[in-house]
Structure formats: C-alpha cells, structure tokens
Amino acid sequence: MNKLIGLGVALAATWLMAARVADVLSDTGVTMDNVRQGTLQNLTEERWFQFRSTNAMRQMARRIPESSRATAVRALGKVVRSYCESAEFKKEFLGWVKQKYPYNDRYSDENIASQEQAVGQMDGMVNQQLGMMQQAYAQIDPATFQQVIRAQLQQQEQELSGLEGDDRTALATEISDVKKMLSATAGKPAAFKTQYLAYQNRKLQKQAAGNIAGEKEKMADAKAQNAEYHRQKAAFDAHSDARPLLKKRLNEFIALCNDVDFGAQTVQKNYRSQQEFTNPAYQRKPAEWKFLYRLGKEPVMEAKAFAQAWLTDLERVR
C-alpha cells in the first residue's frame, strides 16, 4: 500500500496474505518492523512500489487460498493505515523530513533573541562579580592578604610547568606582574592590596570584554544565517505533513489498478514455463503493473477500494 496501498498490496500481495486482521502478521511472517520500514520507504522514495519479502513469507503466503486473498489484502491495508495514523509513524516521518530538509535552530528568531538578551546582561554580571570580589577582599587584613597572595604565587609557579601555549603564557604574565607589585610595595601591605585589587579588576574587565565581543560575533553570524534558517524551516514545514504525499501515493496506486488489464493473454515463453504477454505493449509495462496482474483482479480491486476509502477520508480532513 504504499502508494501506501502499494505497500498494502506489496505487503499483502507480494505474499498473498492471511484472512484475519488480528492474525495477518503472524500468519504471513510479516513483522511490524517490516511494516514500519516498508511504509516509510514506499511513501518517500521515487521507486515506491517495493517490499522485500523473505522466502519464509512467500511459502506461508502460498498456503492462502485464492478465495482469501482479497480479505488478506484488506487486513494488511488496515495494519498499514493504523500505523500511518500512529504517533510513532509521525515521529519517523518527521525524522525523514528533517534529514531531507534540515535546518539549524541555532539561527531561529527565538535563539537570536535569547542571545541578544544574554549579551545585554553580560556587563551587569561582570559588575556584579567585581562587587562581590571587592566585598570578599575588603574583609581581609592587608598583611594577611599579602601572605595569602605569596602562598598563591608559589602554587601557581608549580602549576606553570604543567601548562602549554596560551595558558602558560597568561599565567606566567600574571605571576610576573604580581611579583613586580610585591617588590614595588615591599613593607606596604595596604598599598599592595590596593594595587592587586585594581589589577584583578582590569584583568576581569578585559576577559569580559573579550567574551562579550565573541558573543556579539556569534550573534552577528546567527543574524546573517537567519534568512537561510527561515527558508530551510519553511521547506521543512511544507513537507512535515505526510497526508499530501500519502494522497499522492494512493492516487497513483488507484490509477495503476485502473490501468491493469486482468484479461490480458499470456503464452509460455520457454521450457522453464515462463510466461509473456501476447500484447507487446503489456510486455513493456513496469514490474508493479505485472505484479498486480499476477495477483489477480479480486484482491487488487479490494486493495483499490480500500485505497479509495482511505483517500476519501483524507480528503475530508483539511
């Protein structure tokens, strides 16, 4: 039925299905994985009329009497339709649409607005951090503060040997700067504390300015990509509803059913008992046309009726 009944008959017909709806899968060896894979494949691929049956499936199907084939086709059709109407199918279909029509939410209006808000708040956050640092250091006696920084220097010098590149350069520069301050304010712990706090303020503000500049650059890039995001998202949205494609497949299947001449004559082609149509035009028909011919008029007309009823229901939903 995929055109979706392409799959229903390709499910149902490729192997001539069982009669009872509840047992149609177990009686034919078909699994729901077969249904899931076959449905999405037949719905989304250009070569839509296909289904890979196993030898076991075909052997089980041959046991089905001809009188039960039409009922089996309808039973399979119900299985396929039920799956197509499930939340599971919608999720799988949207996953396929996202692969075919990808878009990056990073460039959405909402994310850009969120980025702008975050960048706008960065200055305030930096000022808050500076204020907290000042309050914390204000409680420490200058002499004690100086001893703490000297101890910190020793630890930083030990860490320096394990660093490379920019990290090593940055820490080495800070160690050198602090040592110079200690030398310049020898015996003046209060002066050292004042200079050190001013140094840390400048350092933090410089880091913050670099961070803000980086975020603004990202935001500018996101804005530049926003138009493309809207184009890509529009393409995704335009294809996110499976019903138009499902209608197309059902219409194509119905047209195929109408085109099959079940009264066409065949003759034996060779000693292997292969048959060929006496009408050369029928010999050139595609494999799916010949498949429906072999299946027989009664089950194919049942599949067509099922497809038409399904299509009618879909047309009612706008």
Tens of pLDDT along 17-43? Answer: 333 444 666 666 677 888 888 889 888
Ranking 18-32, 138-152, 160-174, 284-298 by mean pLDDT, the lowest is 18-32
The SS3 assignment for 3 reads: coil
Average of per-residue pLDDT values in the chain: 85
Segment 154-169 shows an average pLDDT of: 91
Residues 6+ apart with CB under 8 A from 253: 1, 3, 4, 5, 6, 9, 303, 304, 307
Give the pLDDT band of residue 118 (cuts 50, 70, 90).
confident
**pLDDT value at residue 176:** 94
Tokens representing residue 191 in the block: 């002066």
Give the pLDDT band of residue 231 (cuts 50, 70, 90).
very high
Segment 53-68 shows an average pLDDT of: 72
Ranking 66-80, 103-117, 185-199, 253-267 by mean pLDDT, the lowest is 66-80
pLDDT of residue 14 exceeding 50: no
Give the pLDDT band of residue 192 (cuts 50, 70, 90).
very high
Q: Which of 10, 139, 167, 175 minimizes the C-alpha distance to 79?
A: 10
Segment 108-124 shows an average pLDDT of: 87
pLDDT of residue 183 exceeding 70: yes
Most confident of 3-12, 33-42, 162-171: 162-171
What's CA 252's distance to the chain center, in Å? 28
pLDDT of residue 271 exceeding 60: yes
The whole-angstrom separation of Cα 162 and Cα 242 is 58
Residues 6+ apart with CB under 8 A from 254: 304, 307, 308, 311
Question: At CA 302, angle to CA 257 and CA 276, rounded to 5?
Answer: 45
**DSSP strand E in the chain: where?**
266-268, 275-277
Place of tokens 């109407």: 85
What's CA 101's distance to the chain center, in Å? 10
**pLDDT value at residue 12:** 45
Top-confidence residue, 272 or 200? 200
pTM of this prediction? 0.64
Top-confidence residue, 26 or 313? 313
Ranking 40-54, 224-238, 288-302 by mean pLDDT, the lowest is 40-54
Segment 266-271 shows an average pLDDT of: 81
pLDDT of residue 46 exceeding 90: no
**pLDDT value at residue 26:** 67
pLDDT of residue 9 exceeding 90: no
Percent of the chain with pLDDT over 70: 86
**pLDDT value at residue 10:** 47
**pLDDT value at residue 89:** 95
pLDDT of residue 6 exceeding 60: no
**pLDDT value at residue 51:** 62
214, 278 contact by CB (below 8 A) = no
Segment 138-146 shows an average pLDDT of: 90
Ranking 91-100, 119-128, 277-286 by mean pLDDT, the lowest is 119-128
